């Protein structure tokens, strides 16, 4: 359902829960206070109805419908348009899932448009309704609470990524086959975290510059400064993760290169050893081939062979075999084949 929750707040209390947008507009005009309309992936017609009633800028509506926007803060007259990128860590696949929320903050309305499961705006609403003294401050309190929730949801993500990095450091030196891929994927998630968190300090600074002009309550100013402190911590940790992963990728490349070099060295040593063995086998084969050749020739026993009936033929054949073998042995020994 596109409209997740719809309420009118007067003096920090929920005064009415309209069943549709028409009733919301009528109640707001009759009772005063401010409306907080929570929407989840609304259709164009539904968002246009809200835009017409509250005078939202077409460019902001286009961004809210399209999604996939970078974190930013823009002001259209009395309406503040804010885009925030949230994140949550999924334990089973060990990866980070990113969400997006758009806020329209006016003098008497707060409209939140989500495009993912996070941030948990239902929890934000319950927390604000439990503190009417804060909700009494109006739509700007909603802006603070959503900002605070988005930043708080980065904490378990930071813990999850830190745990992944610790595992990667162990796997690198254990020679895990998939560690390079995991480093690359985690580096991509870290870059997405940087894109989600890096604009936040400047966005909060832009809000701070408008405190006096837009009469922001002092308590909200203090709370937004606290959010800024948390944001700066998150940004610093994410930047540290990026640097660590870059170093890990360099170290992994070095380890892979060293492993490949070691394998090549072993292959070379094996080839050299095999070459030496082939030399020895070839040398002994040649030594044994010479007497075999002489014996084979004189073993044919043809009647007209020369020296067949010669009295010194047998001793001479043996001497020839021995001399050939010794000569070949000395030659191969000199060449270090044997």
Give the CATH number for residue 299.
1.20.58
The per-residue pLDDT for 112 is: 95
Nearest-5° angle of CA 118, CA 115, CA 57? Answer: 125
The candidate with the shortest Cα–Cα distance to 139, out of 100, 101, 111, is 111
Per-residue pLDDT tens digits for 188-200: 899 999 999 999 9
Shared-domain flag, residues 212 and 324: no
Q: pLDDT-based confidence at 124, cuts 50/70/90? A: very high
**Which one of 228, 258, 288 terminates a domain?**
258
Mean pLDDT of 110-132: 92
- 265 within domain boundaries: no
Shared-domain flag, residues 241 and 173: yes
84: left (phi over 0), alpha (psi -120 to 50) or beta: beta
Shared-domain flag, residues 128 and 228: yes
Domain span holding position 133: 3-258
In the block, residue with structure tokens 């806020």: 103
Asked if pLDDT for residue 70 goes beyond 80, the answer is yes
- 146 within domain boundaries: yes
- 264 within domain boundaries: no
- 195 within domain boundaries: yes
Question: Of residues 283 and 65, which shows the higher confidence score?
Answer: 65
- 166: domain CATH number is 3.30.460.20
**Whole-number Cα distances in Å, 135 to 121, 125, 265:** 15, 10, 71
Check: CB of residue 38 under 8 Å from CB of residue 149: no
CA distance 326 to 179: 59
Check: CB of residue 128 under 8 Å from CB of residue 158: no
Shared-domain flag, residues 175 and 200: yes
Shared-domain flag, residues 222 and 146: yes
Domain total in the chain? 2
Shared-domain flag, residues 225 and 93: yes
**Which one of 258, 289, 318 terminates a domain?**
258
Q: pLDDT-based confidence at 234, cuts 50/70/90? A: very high
- 78 within domain boundaries: yes
The candidate with the shortest Cα–Cα distance to 159, out of 43, 54, 241, 259, is 241
Shared-domain flag, residues 45 and 102: yes
CA distance 324 to 289: 10
- 263 within domain boundaries: no
Shared-domain flag, residues 194 and 281: no
Per-residue pLDDT tens digits for 260-276: 777 788 877 777 777 77
Shared-domain flag, residues 92 and 193: yes
**Which one of 258, 290, 318 terminates a domain?**
258
- 268 within domain boundaries: no
Shared-domain flag, residues 213 and 288: no
CA distance 277 to 95: 54
Provide CB contacts within 8 A for 313, sequence distance 6+: 298, 307
Q: pLDDT-based confidence at 306, cuts 50/70/90? A: low
Shared-domain flag, residues 299 and 230: no
Shared-domain flag, residues 231 and 284: no
Check: CB of residue 97 under 8 Å from CB of residue 119: no
């Amino acid at each position: 359902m596109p409209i997740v929750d719809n309420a009118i707040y007067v003096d920090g209390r929920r005064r009415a829960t309209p069943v549709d947008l028409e009733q919301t507009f009528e109640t707001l005009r009759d009772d005063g206070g401010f409306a907080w309309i929570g929407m989840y992936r609304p259709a164009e017609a539904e968002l246009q109805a809200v835009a017409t009633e509250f005078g939202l800028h077409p460019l902001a509506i286009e961004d809210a419908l399209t999604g996939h926007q970078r974190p930013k803060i823009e002001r259209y007259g009395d309406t503040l348009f804010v885009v925030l990128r949230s994140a949550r860590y999924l334990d089973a696949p060990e990866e980070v899932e990113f969400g997006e929320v758009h806020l329209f903050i006016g003098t008497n309305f707060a409209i939140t448009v989500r495009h993912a499961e996070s941030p948990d705006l239902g929890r934000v609403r319950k927390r604000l309704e439990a503190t009417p003294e804060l909700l009494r401050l109006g739509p700007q309190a909603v802006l603070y609470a959503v900002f605070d929730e988005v930043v708080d949801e980065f904490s378990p993500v930071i813990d999850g990524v830190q745990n992944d990095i610790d595992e990667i450091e162990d796997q690198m030196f254990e020679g895990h086959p998939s560690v390079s891929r995991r480093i690359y994927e985690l580096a991509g998630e870290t870059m997405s975290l940087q894109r989600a968190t890096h604009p936040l300090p400047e966005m909060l600074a832009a809000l701070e510059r408008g405190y006096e002009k837009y009469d922001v309550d002092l308590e909200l100013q203090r709370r937004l400064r606290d959010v800024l402190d948390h944001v700066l911590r998150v940004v610093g940790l994410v930047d540290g993760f990026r640097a660590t992963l870059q170093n890990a990728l360099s170290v992994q490349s070095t380890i892979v290169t060293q492993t490949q070099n070691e394998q090549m060295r072993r292959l070379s040593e094996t080839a050299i050893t095999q070459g030496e063995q082939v030399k020895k086998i070839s040398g002994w084969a040649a030594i044994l081939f010479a007497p075999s050749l002489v014996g084979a020739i004189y073993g044919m026993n043809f009647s007209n062979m020369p020296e067949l009936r010669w009295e010194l033929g047998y001793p001479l054949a043996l001497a020839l075999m021995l001399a050939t073998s010794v000569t070949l042995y000395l030659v191969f020994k000199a060449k270090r084949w044997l």
